[in-house]
Structures are given as structure tokens and as C-alpha cells.
Amino acid sequence: MIEWLTKNWLSITVPAVVFLSFFVVAIWARRTVCNYLNELLSKIKWEGREIFLQRIRLSFFQWCLILGAYAAIQVSILSPYGKALTGKILGSIFVISLTWAIINLAEKLLKIYLNKIKALSLLPTNLIINAVRITFVVVGVLILLDIWLIPTTPLVLVLTIGLLVIILASRDEILNIFSGFELARGSLIKIGDYVKLESGEEGYVSNITLRNIQIKSSDDRTILVPNSKFTKTTITTYRKPLKKAIQPFRFYTQLHIKELTGLKARNLSELVSILKDVPDSVVYYHTHHFVEEYQYLTPQPANEFALWVSDVIGDEILAEKLSNIDTFEFSTIGELRERVIAVINEELSTRGDGRTAFEGREFHFIKSVSVILPTPYVAHDLREFVEVLRKVSIDSLYFHIFESRLRLHRGVNDFSIWLQDCLDERDLADKIAVLDPYNYTLEGLRFVIIQLIEERIK
């Protein structure tokens, strides 16, 4: 052993000296390069300075050692085959180290800047980071294959075919992603905007994601609209901030069930006599419900009593007087009942009972059984309110405009009360409160109220 070292000491010493020289140079070069970069990056106040320098300090020293080992091998007494094989191994280690360093640095820098890049804010952070990892890993593998003289064409072909298959299978998703970039770049919509699509979807934008826009509708549903649809359709966007109500308005509806009482009147005297004792629900059916049932007629019939007196009894004067009774003027059914009885009694005291109805034409008293049901619609501001108003049924409209007068005993509708108490919209509330229901059908009344509110929010 000693004899062999004596003969070959130079072939061992030279590579060792070369390697140690690179080791010393690596320590000096790392300190010099890092100090220079630190001073340079400090002047420009780069946020990623610490991350970059930390990665460089560790990797730069490793790369110098790999280069020193390669140089030492080249001046050693190894055979050409051994030198080539060792060179490939060291080259592979360098590629792996470089790839790992780039991936690690890219991950940390992406986490810092992704949320600041508006066009990329729609993309999930993990998705971008994984895409970067895969890209650099593929590049590193191709370089390693080239170092070891392994054909890369088959791998590149497989990757290309795989990429094409993925693109074809995900073309809708890719279209949504690019549409999302266009939406973000152009600032077409923002979270909190009220949007209305040509296809009918509408509501407040609650979230913007990589694939779709999430819209919160007035009936508390979440509507998912693909980004590509947003870029291809006509959109109306309302960005004017509207005051939120202290309490939201919940829309209700009312259904009526008819129930025969078995009571019937052949003349005015019997009509008054029975009318005095029937429940309020009977008076309600022949007045309020009668108006709702025939709301599409213009002018609207005032009540069923007037209609019967005119068509069956033939007393046009009394029928006109009964028609002149404003059903919605009274805040209770009792007051309305007394008014109808007083008008008929006044006529009876001056002209007597008059004609008696033929059999089958008697006035049949019917009782109304009402069922109040909540709807899914809730409005938090004027814009939501007017959009819901377009959708609710006639029964819901009647309940909130006319039924409220009896229910609240305030002589005013639910809409006006909410507008005044929860939104402080006194002028708008007064304009709706003074609308005369006899001048409109319920659909006409809906249209007028919508017009008033839209003029207010323009």
C-alpha cells in the first residue's frame, strides 16, 4: 500500500488539490456574490430578496462542489470511460439540484405575487404552483435523458399527445379560464355588483372563480354562470350603491278557500238581516276577495252586493250607491259591513223592499278561509325589491297592497311601511300609498309601482 502511494501520490494529490481549491473558491465566491446581490437587491427594495438570497447561498455552494468534483475527475488517472461516466453522474446531480432549487424558489415567489397579479387572482394558488412544478420537472427529465443519450423524441411525442387530449377534453374549462382572465383584466364585473343577464339570471355577484361567476338571487339561490357565458351574452351591470334596509322585506302570498254557509237572501230586507250576523270572513269574501277575483276588469266592480242588486233586483240607484263604497277606505271589516248595511237601510226607508229574486237567483253568502304562505323571495334594497316585484304572483301583490290595510289597521300597504320604516324612503312610500286601486288592474298597479321605484334608483 505504501509502495503504491509512493508511486502514485501525484495522481492522488493533484485531483485533491483541485477539489480543495474549488472548495476554497466556492466559500469566497458565495460570500462575494451574495454580498453583491444583497446590496443590489436592497437598493431596489425587492420583496423576494431574502428568499432569493437564502436559496442562492445553499445552492451556489453545492454547484461549486459539483464543479470541483468534475474538474478533479478530469485531471485524475481514471480511464476515459470512467471519466465520461462520472461526468454524466455529476451532470445529473447538477441538473437535479438546479431543478429543485428553481422549483423551490418559484413556489415561494409565486405565493408572494399571485394575489397581487390581478389577471391571475381568479386562479387557485395551488393549481399554478403545481403547473410550475410539473413544467420544471419535465424540462429536468428531458435534460437528464439527453445527458444519458436516451432518445427523448418518444417522450416528447407522448407528452404532446397527452397535452392535446387534455386540451380537447377540457376545452370548456379552458374557455372559462380564458374568459375569467378577460373579465379580470377588463374589470367588467366586481363582487357586489348587481347584474342582469340577457338570459334572465340576475342578482348580486357573490364570488368570481376560475370557472364561473356566482350570483346570489333575490330568492336566496346561488346561480353559477360559466365565465364563457358572461363574455358572450349581454349583461346589465348596476354599480350604484344602494342603501340596505334595516330589515329585509319578506314577500308572502295568500290563498282563499270558498266555503258555502247555506245562507241566502231573496230581497234587500233579507240581505240586510243576514248581513248583520254573518262572520267577517263572509263580508270579506263578497268585498275584498271579490275585487281581487275580478281585478282584471276595468273599471273594477266595487263589491258583489252592488253587482247582485243591479243584475237581479234591478235597482240601479242602490247599486250605484253600493258601488261608490270604497272597500279599501275601511281599516276593519266591521266598519265596511256597517257602511253597506247603512246604505241599504237608507234605501229601504225611502223606497221599500222592491223586487224579490227568482228562485236560483238568490244572493248566496259564501265564507272565505284564507291561508297565508311565505314565498322564497326576500328584498334587501330597492333593486332587489323591484326585481322580485316583477316575479311575485297577483295574490302576493294583493296581500301586501290591500290585505295589509285590514291586517295592520293603519290604512296603508306593506310596501309603503317598509320603504318608510326600513329604508327611510318617505317620498317613494307616499307615492305608492296614494295610488287609487280602482284606477288600475293589479297588473297595472304592479307596473306603476315598478316605474316609481326604477325612477328612484336611476
pLDDT in tens, the chain (458 residues): 555 545 555 566 767 777 788 777 777 877 887 777 777 777 766 677 777 778 777 787 788 778 878 887 887 777 888 888 888 888 888 888 888 888 888 888 777 776 665 545 555 667 677 778 888 888 888 888 888 877 777 766 777 777 667 656 656 655 656 565 566 555 567 777 777 777 777 777 877 776 677 888 766 778 877 776 766 666 666 655 577 889 999 999 988 888 889 999 999 999 999 999 999 889 888 888 887 777 665 555 678 899 898 888 888 888 889 988 888 778 788 888 999 999 999 888 887 777 888 888 999 999 988 888 999 899 988 888 988 998 898 889 888 888 877 776 666 889 999 999 999 999 999 998 888 766 777 888 899 999 999 888 87
Least Cα distance to 197 among 215, 170, 219, 220 occurs for: 215
Using an 8 Å Cβ cutoff, are 329 and 437 in contact? no
Q: Is residue 381 located within the same domain as residue 443?
A: yes
Using an 8 Å Cβ cutoff, are 18 and 76 in contact? no
Using an 8 Å Cβ cutoff, are 310 and 304 in contact? no
* Single-letter residue type at 30: R
Domain holding 45, by residue range, is 10-167
What pTM value is reported for the model?
0.51
Q: Is residue 215 located within the same domain as residue 334?
A: no
- How far apart are alpha carbons 251 and 391 in whole angstroms? 11
Tally the domains of the chain: 3
pLDDT of 303: 87
Look up cell 342603501; give the residue: 243
Q: Is residue 229 located within the same domain as residue 262?
A: no
Least Cα distance to 202 among 189, 216, 191 occurs for: 216
Q: Is residue 48 located within the same domain as residue 158?
A: yes
Q: Is residue 284 located within the same domain as residue 431?
A: yes
Residues of the chain by 3-state class (helix, strand, coil), percent to 5: 65, 15, 25
Using an 8 Å Cβ cutoff, are 14 and 75 in contact? yes
Q: Which of 238, 258, 273 is the last residue of a domain?
A: 238
pLDDT of 362: 92
Instruction: Establish whether the linkage from the previous residue to 299 is cis, with ω within 30° of 0.
Output: yes
- How far apart are alpha carbons 351 and 411 in whole angstroms? 34
Q: Is residue 442 located within the same domain as residue 418?
A: yes
- How far apart are alpha carbons 84 and 12 in whole angstroms? 19
